[in-house]
Protein backbone atom coordinates (compact mmCIF):
# COMPACT_ATOMS: atom_id res chain seq x y z
CA UNK A 1 0.00 0.00 0.00
CA UNK A 2 1.19 3.54 -0.72
CA UNK A 3 0.21 7.00 0.49
CA UNK A 4 -1.14 9.03 -2.44
CA UNK A 5 -2.15 12.29 -0.76
CA UNK A 6 -2.55 14.06 2.58
CA UNK A 7 -5.31 16.64 3.02
CA UNK A 8 -5.31 19.25 5.78
CA UNK A 9 -8.84 20.66 6.10
CA UNK A 10 -9.52 23.78 8.19
CA UNK A 11 -12.94 24.13 9.80
CA UNK A 12 -14.06 27.27 11.62
CA UNK A 13 -17.27 28.53 13.18
CA UNK A 14 -18.60 31.76 11.63
CA UNK A 15 -18.37 33.63 14.96
CA UNK A 16 -15.23 32.90 16.96
CA UNK A 17 -14.84 34.41 20.45
CA UNK A 18 -11.09 34.86 20.63
CA UNK A 19 -11.28 35.75 24.34
CA UNK A 20 -12.66 32.33 25.38
CA UNK A 21 -10.16 29.51 26.04
CA UNK A 22 -12.24 27.24 23.82
CA UNK A 23 -10.31 25.37 21.14
CA UNK A 24 -13.47 23.76 19.77
CA UNK A 25 -14.29 26.85 17.71
CA UNK A 26 -12.07 25.68 14.88
CA UNK A 27 -10.45 22.39 13.88
CA UNK A 28 -7.85 20.90 11.58
CA UNK A 29 -8.82 17.57 10.07
CA UNK A 30 -6.24 15.32 8.39
CA UNK A 31 -7.15 12.80 5.72
CA UNK A 32 -4.42 10.43 4.50
CA UNK A 33 -5.32 8.80 1.17
CA UNK A 34 -3.90 5.48 -0.09
CA UNK A 35 -3.78 3.62 -3.39
CA UNK A 36 -5.88 0.87 -1.73
CA UNK A 37 -8.79 3.30 -1.37
CA UNK A 38 -8.48 3.39 2.42
CA UNK A 39 -8.61 6.90 3.90
CA UNK A 40 -7.17 7.50 7.37
CA UNK A 41 -8.70 10.18 9.57
CA UNK A 42 -6.91 12.29 12.16
CA UNK A 43 -7.05 15.70 13.73
CA UNK A 44 -4.79 18.34 15.23
CA UNK A 45 -5.84 20.65 18.08
CA UNK A 46 -3.58 23.62 17.43
CA UNK A 47 -3.56 26.69 15.20
CA UNK A 48 -5.07 25.11 12.06
CA UNK A 49 -3.54 27.59 9.63
CA UNK A 50 0.03 26.94 10.77
CA UNK A 51 -0.51 23.17 10.83
CA UNK A 52 -1.85 23.24 7.28
CA UNK A 53 1.25 25.11 6.13
CA UNK A 54 3.57 22.59 7.83
CA UNK A 55 1.80 19.71 6.10
CA UNK A 56 1.64 21.38 2.68
CA UNK A 57 4.93 23.26 2.53
CA UNK A 58 7.36 22.33 -0.27
CA UNK A 59 10.85 21.17 0.78
CA UNK A 60 13.56 23.77 1.44
CA UNK A 61 16.38 21.26 1.87
CA UNK A 62 17.06 17.79 3.28
CA UNK A 63 16.12 18.57 6.91
CA UNK A 64 13.52 21.29 6.28
CA UNK A 65 10.85 19.46 4.34
CA UNK A 66 7.03 19.42 4.31
CA UNK A 67 5.18 16.53 5.95
CA UNK A 68 2.99 15.78 2.94
CA UNK A 69 5.80 15.49 0.43
CA UNK A 70 7.85 13.44 2.94
CA UNK A 71 5.14 10.78 3.07
CA UNK A 72 3.72 10.56 -0.45
CA UNK A 73 4.70 7.21 -1.98
CA UNK A 74 5.54 5.66 1.41
CA UNK A 75 3.86 2.57 2.93
CA UNK A 76 1.29 3.86 5.48
CA UNK A 77 1.65 0.71 7.61
CA UNK A 78 5.30 1.50 8.48
CA UNK A 79 4.12 3.89 11.18
CA UNK A 80 7.19 4.13 13.44
CA UNK A 81 9.47 4.59 10.44
CA UNK A 82 7.20 7.30 9.02
CA UNK A 83 7.11 9.09 12.39
CA UNK A 84 10.92 9.18 12.38
CA UNK A 85 10.92 10.27 8.74
CA UNK A 86 8.70 13.26 9.57
CA UNK A 87 10.73 14.12 12.69
CA UNK A 88 14.09 13.95 10.91
CA UNK A 89 12.81 15.63 7.74
CA UNK A 90 11.59 18.69 9.68
CA UNK A 91 14.26 18.74 12.38
CA UNK A 92 15.61 22.20 11.47
CA UNK A 93 12.30 23.90 12.17
CA UNK A 94 10.55 21.16 14.17
CA UNK A 95 11.32 18.75 17.08
CA UNK A 96 8.76 20.43 19.35
CA UNK A 97 5.61 22.56 19.28
CA UNK A 98 3.48 22.96 16.22
CA UNK A 99 5.43 20.59 13.95
CA UNK A 100 4.82 17.77 16.43
CA UNK A 101 1.16 18.89 16.54
CA UNK A 102 0.97 18.47 12.75
CA UNK A 103 2.69 15.07 12.92
CA UNK A 104 0.09 14.00 15.50
CA UNK A 105 -2.82 14.28 13.07
CA UNK A 106 -0.96 12.30 10.43
CA UNK A 107 0.12 9.63 12.92
CA UNK A 108 -3.48 9.30 14.11
CA UNK A 109 -4.63 8.83 10.51
CA UNK A 110 -1.93 6.18 9.90
CA UNK A 111 -3.19 4.14 12.88
CA UNK A 112 -6.73 4.52 11.47
CA UNK A 113 -5.47 3.11 8.15
CA UNK A 114 -3.72 0.21 9.91
CA UNK A 115 -6.96 -0.60 11.74
CA UNK A 116 -9.08 -0.40 8.60
CA UNK A 117 -6.56 -2.50 6.63
CA UNK A 118 -6.51 -5.25 9.28
CA UNK A 119 -10.17 -5.00 10.39
CA UNK A 120 -9.13 -4.24 13.97
CA UNK A 121 -9.99 -1.37 16.32
CA UNK A 122 -6.92 0.75 17.13
CA UNK A 123 -6.88 -0.26 20.80
CA UNK A 124 -6.17 -3.88 19.80
CA UNK A 125 -3.23 -2.77 17.68
CA UNK A 126 -1.91 -0.80 20.68
CA UNK A 127 -1.77 -3.96 22.80
CA UNK A 128 -5.37 -4.49 23.75
CA UNK A 129 -7.90 -3.19 26.26
CA UNK A 130 -7.35 -3.46 30.01
CA UNK A 131 -10.93 -2.30 30.66
CA UNK A 132 -14.14 -2.14 28.63
CA UNK A 133 -15.45 1.21 29.83
CA UNK A 134 -14.06 4.51 31.05
CA UNK A 135 -15.46 7.08 33.42
CA UNK A 136 -16.13 10.32 31.50
CA UNK A 137 -15.59 13.65 33.14
CA UNK A 138 -17.73 16.62 32.14
CA UNK A 139 -15.28 19.39 31.24
CA UNK A 140 -16.41 23.01 31.45
CA UNK A 141 -15.06 26.53 31.45
CA UNK A 142 -15.35 27.89 35.02
CA UNK A 143 -18.54 29.99 35.43
CA UNK A 144 -18.06 33.54 36.74
CA UNK A 145 -20.42 33.17 39.72
CA UNK A 146 -21.09 30.66 42.50
CA UNK A 147 -24.71 30.45 41.30
CA UNK A 148 -23.45 29.52 37.85
CA UNK A 149 -21.26 26.80 39.37
CA UNK A 150 -24.11 25.42 41.44
CA UNK A 151 -26.55 25.08 38.53
CA UNK A 152 -23.87 23.56 36.26
CA UNK A 153 -23.05 20.89 38.86
CA UNK A 154 -26.74 20.03 39.20
CA UNK A 155 -27.02 19.61 35.41
CA UNK A 156 -23.99 17.32 35.32
CA UNK A 157 -25.31 15.17 38.18
CA UNK A 158 -28.71 14.94 36.44
CA UNK A 159 -26.95 13.67 33.30
CA UNK A 160 -25.23 10.92 35.28
CA UNK A 161 -21.68 12.31 35.43
CA UNK A 162 -19.57 11.18 38.38
CA UNK A 163 -16.60 13.40 37.54
CA UNK A 164 -16.41 17.09 36.65
CA UNK A 165 -13.71 19.59 35.76
CA UNK A 166 -13.97 23.38 35.85
CA UNK A 167 -11.25 25.54 34.41
CA UNK A 168 -9.97 28.76 32.88
CA UNK A 169 -12.56 31.56 32.59
CA UNK A 170 -12.00 34.17 35.30
CA UNK A 171 -9.94 31.95 37.62
CA UNK A 172 -6.83 33.68 38.92
CA UNK A 173 -8.26 37.18 39.24
CA UNK A 174 -9.39 37.00 42.86
CA UNK A 175 -8.31 34.30 45.30
CA UNK A 176 -11.38 34.40 47.62
CA UNK A 177 -13.67 34.20 44.54
CA UNK A 178 -11.69 31.20 43.24
CA UNK A 179 -11.93 29.44 46.60
CA UNK A 180 -15.67 30.20 46.87
CA UNK A 181 -16.41 28.72 43.43
CA UNK A 182 -14.36 25.58 44.11
CA UNK A 183 -16.07 25.08 47.51
CA UNK A 184 -19.48 25.63 45.89
CA UNK A 185 -18.72 22.97 43.27
CA UNK A 186 -17.78 20.43 45.95
CA UNK A 187 -20.86 21.23 48.04
CA UNK A 188 -23.19 20.95 45.02
CA UNK A 189 -21.63 17.65 43.90
CA UNK A 190 -21.60 15.98 47.31
CA UNK A 191 -18.69 13.91 48.57
CA UNK A 192 -18.47 11.12 45.96
CA UNK A 193 -17.97 12.63 42.47
CA UNK A 194 -14.44 13.49 41.29
CA UNK A 195 -13.82 17.24 41.11
CA UNK A 196 -10.91 18.67 39.15
CA UNK A 197 -9.84 22.31 38.77
CA UNK A 198 -7.89 23.65 35.79
CA UNK A 199 -6.14 26.96 36.41
CA UNK A 200 -5.09 27.48 32.80
CA UNK A 201 -1.68 28.70 34.09
CA UNK A 202 -3.34 31.54 36.02
CA UNK A 203 -1.48 31.52 39.36
CA UNK A 204 2.10 31.95 40.53
CA UNK A 205 3.62 29.53 43.05
CA UNK A 206 2.89 31.48 46.27
CA UNK A 207 -0.75 32.07 45.25
CA UNK A 208 -1.19 28.44 44.23
CA UNK A 209 0.27 27.31 47.57
CA UNK A 210 -2.25 29.49 49.38
CA UNK A 211 -5.13 28.34 47.14
CA UNK A 212 -4.35 24.65 47.70
CA UNK A 213 -4.17 25.25 51.45
CA UNK A 214 -7.62 26.84 51.43
CA UNK A 215 -9.29 24.23 49.18
CA UNK A 216 -7.68 21.20 50.85
CA UNK A 217 -11.09 20.19 52.40
CA UNK A 218 -12.68 20.15 48.88
CA UNK A 219 -11.00 16.82 48.08
CA UNK A 220 -9.82 17.72 44.56
CA UNK A 221 -8.94 14.77 42.35
CA UNK A 222 -6.32 16.99 40.74
CA UNK A 223 -5.28 20.60 40.23
CA UNK A 224 -4.38 21.18 36.58
CA UNK A 225 -2.08 23.78 35.06
CA UNK A 226 -1.87 25.83 38.21
CA UNK A 227 1.37 27.47 36.99
CA UNK A 228 3.17 28.24 33.77
CA UNK A 229 4.17 24.97 32.05
CA UNK A 230 7.78 26.22 32.24
CA UNK A 231 7.79 26.98 35.97
CA UNK A 232 9.52 23.80 37.14
CA UNK A 233 10.81 25.46 40.30
CA UNK A 234 7.34 26.76 41.18
CA UNK A 235 5.81 23.34 40.59
CA UNK A 236 8.41 21.69 42.82
CA UNK A 237 7.60 24.20 45.56
CA UNK A 238 3.85 23.68 45.11
CA UNK A 239 4.09 19.88 45.13
CA UNK A 240 5.98 20.02 48.44
CA UNK A 241 3.33 22.23 50.04
CA UNK A 242 0.16 20.27 49.11
CA UNK A 243 -1.21 16.74 49.03
CA UNK A 244 -3.39 17.59 46.00
CA UNK A 245 -2.16 15.88 42.83
CA UNK A 246 -0.79 18.27 40.24
CA UNK A 247 -1.61 17.76 36.54
CA UNK A 248 0.14 19.23 33.51
CA UNK A 249 0.94 18.38 29.90
CA UNK A 250 -1.60 19.68 27.40
CA UNK A 251 0.89 22.32 26.25
CA UNK A 252 3.73 19.86 25.87
CA UNK A 253 4.89 17.67 23.01
CA UNK A 254 7.12 14.56 22.88
CA UNK A 255 8.21 12.28 25.71
CA UNK A 256 11.35 14.31 26.50
CA UNK A 257 9.17 17.18 27.70
CA UNK A 258 7.11 14.82 29.85
CA UNK A 259 10.32 13.46 31.37
CA UNK A 260 11.07 17.03 32.46
CA UNK A 261 7.58 17.40 33.95
CA UNK A 262 8.22 14.30 36.06
CA UNK A 263 11.86 14.84 37.01
CA UNK A 264 12.08 18.62 37.24
CA UNK A 265 8.50 19.71 38.06
CA UNK A 266 7.27 16.76 40.20
CA UNK A 267 4.04 16.54 38.18
CA UNK A 268 1.78 13.69 39.35
CA UNK A 269 -0.64 13.39 36.41
CA UNK A 270 0.53 13.62 32.80
CA UNK A 271 -1.93 15.01 30.27
CA UNK A 272 -0.67 14.34 26.75
CA UNK A 273 -3.11 15.41 24.04
CA UNK A 274 -3.07 12.78 21.27
CA UNK A 275 -3.58 15.48 18.66
CA UNK A 276 -0.51 17.43 19.91
CA UNK A 277 2.15 15.14 21.41
CA UNK A 278 2.94 13.18 18.25
CA UNK A 279 -0.12 10.95 17.96
CA UNK A 280 -0.45 7.41 19.29
CA UNK A 281 3.16 6.64 18.48
CA UNK A 282 4.58 9.26 20.84
CA UNK A 283 1.79 8.91 23.40
CA UNK A 284 2.85 5.27 23.87
CA UNK A 285 6.37 6.42 24.81
CA UNK A 286 4.84 8.85 27.30
CA UNK A 287 2.67 6.06 28.76
CA UNK A 288 5.74 3.86 29.21
CA UNK A 289 7.60 6.73 30.87
CA UNK A 290 4.64 7.29 33.19
CA UNK A 291 4.56 3.60 34.11
CA UNK A 292 8.26 3.65 34.96
CA UNK A 293 7.70 6.64 37.26
CA UNK A 294 4.34 5.44 38.66
CA UNK A 295 2.46 8.43 37.29
CA UNK A 296 -1.13 8.51 36.10
CA UNK A 297 -1.77 9.41 32.43
CA UNK A 298 -4.99 11.28 31.68
CA UNK A 299 -4.97 12.57 28.10
CA UNK A 300 -6.25 16.04 27.39
CA UNK A 301 -9.09 15.97 24.82
CA UNK A 302 -11.08 19.13 24.11
CA UNK A 303 -11.98 18.84 20.46
CA UNK A 304 -14.01 16.91 17.88
CA UNK A 305 -15.25 13.32 18.02
CA UNK A 306 -12.07 12.23 16.21
CA UNK A 307 -9.95 13.13 19.23
CA UNK A 308 -12.57 11.71 21.62
CA UNK A 309 -12.42 8.37 19.76
CA UNK A 310 -8.61 8.38 19.55
CA UNK A 311 -8.37 9.09 23.29
CA UNK A 312 -10.78 6.24 24.07
CA UNK A 313 -8.71 3.74 22.06
CA UNK A 314 -5.58 4.87 23.90
CA UNK A 315 -7.12 5.15 27.37
CA UNK A 316 -8.46 1.59 27.48
CA UNK A 317 -4.88 0.32 27.01
CA UNK A 318 -3.31 2.30 29.88
CA UNK A 319 -1.87 0.49 32.91
CA UNK A 320 -3.53 2.71 35.49
CA UNK A 321 -7.19 3.58 35.08
CA UNK A 322 -7.74 7.04 33.62
CA UNK A 323 -10.83 9.20 33.39
CA UNK A 324 -11.64 10.69 30.00
CA UNK A 325 -12.32 14.33 29.25
CA UNK A 326 -15.57 15.21 27.48
CA UNK A 327 -16.20 18.82 26.55
CA UNK A 328 -19.73 20.13 26.80
CA UNK A 329 -19.19 23.50 25.08
CA UNK A 330 -21.78 22.62 22.45
CA UNK A 331 -19.69 23.70 19.44
CA UNK A 332 -21.15 22.00 16.32
CA UNK A 333 -17.58 20.89 15.57
CA UNK A 334 -17.71 18.76 18.73
CA UNK A 335 -21.34 17.66 18.40
CA UNK A 336 -22.02 17.25 14.64
CA UNK A 337 -18.76 16.65 12.75
CA UNK A 338 -18.66 12.89 13.36
CA UNK A 339 -21.65 10.74 12.36
CA UNK A 340 -21.02 8.08 15.02
CA UNK A 341 -19.14 10.04 17.67
CA UNK A 342 -18.55 8.38 21.03
CA UNK A 343 -20.83 9.84 23.72
CA UNK A 344 -20.81 8.83 27.39
CA UNK A 345 -23.99 7.17 28.69
CA UNK A 346 -24.74 7.73 32.37
CA UNK A 347 -21.24 9.16 32.73
CA UNK A 348 -19.31 6.28 31.14
CA UNK A 349 -17.83 5.66 27.68
CA UNK A 350 -18.13 2.19 26.16
CA UNK A 351 -15.24 0.54 24.33
CA UNK A 352 -15.30 1.37 20.57
CA UNK A 353 -15.22 -1.74 18.39
CA UNK A 354 -15.28 -0.74 14.71
CA UNK A 355 -12.01 -1.05 12.71
CA UNK A 356 -9.51 1.80 13.02
CA UNK A 357 -10.73 4.77 15.03
CA UNK A 358 -14.27 3.76 14.13
CA UNK A 359 -15.49 7.27 13.32
CA UNK A 360 -16.86 8.75 10.12
CA UNK A 361 -16.89 12.39 9.01
CA UNK A 362 -20.19 14.10 8.27
CA UNK A 363 -19.19 15.67 4.94
CA UNK A 364 -22.12 18.12 5.03
CA UNK A 365 -20.71 19.56 8.25
CA UNK A 366 -17.22 19.63 6.73
CA UNK A 367 -18.52 21.61 3.76
CA UNK A 368 -20.57 23.94 5.99
CA UNK A 369 -17.59 25.00 8.15
CA UNK A 370 -14.75 24.66 5.61
CA UNK A 371 -12.56 27.76 5.85
CA UNK A 372 -10.05 29.30 3.47
CA UNK A 373 -7.69 31.74 5.20
MG1 LIG B 1 -6.45 22.02 30.71
So which residues are the catalytic ones?
300
Rounded CA gap, 105 and 41, in Å? 8
Say what the pLDDT of residue 52 is. Answer: 98
Rounded to the nearest whole angstrom, what is the distance from the C-alpha of residue 221 to the centroid of ligand 1?
A: 14
Say what the pLDDT of residue 192 is. Answer: 97
Which residue in 183, 145, 48, 127 sits closest to 319, CA to CA?
127
Tell me the three-class secondary structure of the chain, residue by residue. Answer: CCEEEEEEEEEECCCCCCCCCCHHHEEEEEEEEECCCCEEEEEECCCHHHHHHHHHCCCCECCECCHHHHHCCCCCCCHHHHHHHHHHHCCCCCCCHHHHHHHHHHHHHHHHHHHHHHCCEHHHHCCCCCCCEEEEEEEEECCCCHHHHHHHHHHHHHCCCCEEEEECCCCCCCHHHHHHHHHHHHHHHCCCCEEEEECCCCCCHHHHHHHHHHHHHHCCCEEECCCCCCCHHHHHHHHHHCCCCEEECCCCCHHHHHHHHHHCCCCCEECCECCCCCHHHHHHHHHHHHHHCCCEECCECCCCHHHHHHHHHHHCCCCCCCCEEEECCCCHHHHCCECCCCCCECCEEECCCCCECCCCECHHHHHHHECCC
Rounded to the nearest whole angstrom, what is the distance from the C-alpha of residue 225 to the centroid of ligand 1?
A: 6
Return the C-alpha torsion angle 86, 280, 41, 365, nearest 10.
Answer: -120
Rounded to the nearest whole angstrom, what is the distance from the C-alpha of residue 355 to the centroid of ligand 1?
A: 30
Rounded to the nearest whole angstrom, what is the distance from the C-alpha of residue 201 to the centroid of ligand 1?
A: 9
Say what the pLDDT of residue 266 is. Answer: 97
Say what the pLDDT of residue 23 is. Answer: 84
Rounded to the nearest whole angstrom, what is the distance from the C-alpha of residue 266 to the centroid of ligand 1?
A: 17
Say what the pLDDT of residue 172 is. Answer: 97
Rounded to the nearest whole angstrom, what is the distance from the C-alpha of residue 268 to the centroid of ligand 1?
A: 15
Which residue in 229, 171, 227, 235 sits closest to 204, CA to CA?
227
Rounded to the nearest whole angstrom, what is the distance from the C-alpha of residue 140 to the centroid of ligand 1?
A: 10
Rounded to the nearest whole angstrom, what is the distance from the C-alpha of residue 163 to the centroid of ligand 1?
A: 15
Rounded CA gap, 254 and 283, in Å? 8
Q: Could you give the angle at the alpha carbon of 305 between the alpha carbons of 303 and 308, nearest 5°?
A: 75
> Is the full-model pTM beyond 0.85?
yes
Say what the pLDDT of residue 99 is. Answer: 98
Say what the pLDDT of residue 311 is. Answer: 98
Rounded CA gap, 199 and 167, in Å? 6
Q: Could you give the angle at the alpha carbon of 273 between the alpha carbons of 373 and 302, nearest 5°?
A: 65
pLDDT under 70: residue ranges of the chain: none
CA quadruple 23, 25, 26, 31: dihedral sign = positive
Pairing of strands 348-350, 269-270: unpaired
Amino acid sequence: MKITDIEAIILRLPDVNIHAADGSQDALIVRVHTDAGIIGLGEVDSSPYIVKAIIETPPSHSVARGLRELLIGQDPLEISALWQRMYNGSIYYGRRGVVIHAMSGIDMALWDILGKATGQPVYKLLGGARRNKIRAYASHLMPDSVDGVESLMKTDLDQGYTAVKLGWGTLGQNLPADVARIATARKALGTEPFLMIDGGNCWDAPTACELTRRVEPCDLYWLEEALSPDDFEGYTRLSRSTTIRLAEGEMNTVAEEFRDLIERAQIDILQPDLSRVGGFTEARRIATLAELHHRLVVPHAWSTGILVAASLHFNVTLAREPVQEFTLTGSPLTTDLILNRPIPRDGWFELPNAPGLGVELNMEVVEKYAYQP
